[in-house]
Amino acid sequence: MAPIQPPLYPLSILSSHLVGLSFGSSYVVSLYLVKNARLRFSSEKTDARHSNVLPGSRDDPAVIRARLTAATFATLLNCGIVYVLIARSTAPSFDSFASTLAILGVRWPDRILSCLQTPLLFLGPLYGSYLAGTLPGQSNYSFNRDFLGLFSNWQGFRNYVWGPLTEEIVFRACVLSVYAMGGASRWRMIAFAPLIFGLAHVHHAWDTYNRLGRTQDALKRAALSTIFQTLYTTLFGAHTSYLFLRTSSLIPPLTAHVFCNIMGIPQLQSETRRFPEKKTTIIAVYVIGIALFAYTLVPWTESPTSLYWRAPEAFWRAVVGTS
C-alpha cells in the first residue's frame, strides 16, 4: 500500500479566505480597541491660531500616534501568524524565518522599473502640476512647504510613511501569502485580496457621517464617499497585488502606495478649467499616460526570481524546500 502523501498546501481556500479576512479585520479593529485611538466627535471649535484640528479627530496628532501604535501591533501579530503557518508546514531542516521573509516580500525587486511603472498612470496629473509650476525645481515649488511640510508632521507620517508601510505588509504580503498557502491561482489572488483591502476602508463612513453633522444628508454623503473610496481602493489593491505577485517584493507596491497618496485623485476637470487653452493637450497626456501604463505593465514588472509568479505548486515547493 502506497504511503499517504501529505497535502501540498497547508491551508484550504476557505481557510485562506477566513485568515485573510482576519488579517484585515484585526488591522481595522485595532484602531478602535485602544481608547486614545478612538475618534471623538464634538461641535467644539479650536483656536485657529494654534491648531486647525479638533481634539479627538482623525487628524489629531494624539489620535494618529495611538492609531499608528495599534496598527503596528496588528501588523506584527499578522506577520507572526504567517511565520507560525510557515513553521508548522516546513521541514525541520528548513529555515522558517527566511521563508517568512521571502513570502512577505522582504527583498529588493529585480528591476527598479517596477517602482516607476505606476507613475506613468499619473502622467496627466503630473503634466497639470507642470502647468501650475508646482513640480520640483519650478517657480511655485517650495522644498520646505511641499516636501518637508509634507513629511514633517504626524498627518504626513501617517499618510506617506507608516500608513502605507503597515497596510502593504498586512493587505498585500500577509493576505496574499495565505492565499498562496491555500493554492489559489495568481489571478484569484488578484481578485480576492483587494476586496479585503477595499472593505477595510468602509469604517471611514462613520467618521464622515459624524463630521458632517449626523444628518440625513450627512448619511447620504458618507455612503457615496465610502462607496467611491471602496471601489477606488479595491482597484488600487488589485494593481498593487499584481506588483507584489510579479516581483515578490514589497518595494514596488509600497512606492506605488506612497506615490498615489501624494498625488491624490486625478483632477482632469479641474485642470482643464484652470488651463482651458491646454485642454486638448491635457486630455491627450492623460490618454498617453494610461496607454504607457498598460504597455509597460508586464515588461517593467518582469521578475525571474519571483516566488509568486509561477504555478502554485512550484511556489509552495520552493518555499518548503520539497522536490
| Tens digit of each residue's pLDDT (9 = 90 or more) over 226-248 | 898 899 999 999 999 999 999 99
Decide if pLDDT at 323 tops 60.
Answer: no
Decide if pLDDT at 86 tops 90.
Answer: no
217 or 53: which leads in pLDDT: 217
**Residue 198: CB atoms within 10 Å:** 21
CA angle 16, 18, 23 (to 5 degrees): 95
Q: Nearest CA to 119 among 252, 283, 271, 16?
A: 252
Q: Nearest CA to 42 among 158, 214, 217, 219?
A: 214
CA-to-CA distance for 156 and 164, rounded, in angstroms? 11
**Residue 143: CB atoms within 10 Å:** 10
CA-to-CA distance for 5 and 78, rounded, in angstroms? 29
Query: Which of 7-16, 37-46, 269-278 shows the lowest mean pLDDT across its residues?
Result: 37-46
CA-to-CA distance for 71 and 28, rounded, in angstroms? 8
Query: Which of 97-101, 264-268, 316-320 shows the lowest mean pLDDT across its residues?
Result: 316-320
State the helix-helix crossing angle for 186-199 and 216-247, rounded to 10 degrees: 150
CA-to-CA distance for 14 and 113, rounded, in angstroms? 35
CA-to-CA distance for 135 and 133, rounded, in angstroms? 6
Percent of the chain clearing pLDDT 90 (strictly above): 56
What's the mean pLDDT in 99-115?
92
pLDDT score recorded for residue 47: 42
Predicted TM-score (pTM) of the model is 0.89
96 or 130: which leads in pLDDT: 130
Question: What does residue 225 show for φ and ψ, rounded to 5 degrees?
Answer: -65, -35
pLDDT digits (tens, 9 = 90+) for 44-80: 544 434 446 667 778 889 999 999 999 999 999 999 9
Measured between alpha carbons, how far is residue 212 from residues 206, 218, 219 in Å?
Answer: 10, 5, 8
Task: Using pLDDT thresholds of 50, 70 and 90, give the confidence band for residue 179.
Answer: very high
322 and 258 Cβ atoms separated by less than 8 Å: no
Task: Using pLDDT thresholds of 50, 70 and 90, give the confidence band for residue 35.
Answer: confident
Q: For 51, which DSSP code?
A: -
Decide if pLDDT at 94 tops 70.
Answer: no
Within 8 A by CB and 6+ apart from 12, the residues are: 182
To which H or E segment does residue 62 belong? helix 61-89
pLDDT digits (tens, 9 = 90+) for 261-306: 999 989 999 999 999 999 999 999 999 999 999 999 999 999 988 8
Domain spans in the chain, listed from the N-terminal domain onward:
13-40+53-320
Torsion of CA 300, 305, 307, 311, to 10 degrees: 80
Mean pLDDT over all residues of the chain?
87
Grid look-up 511565520 returns 83
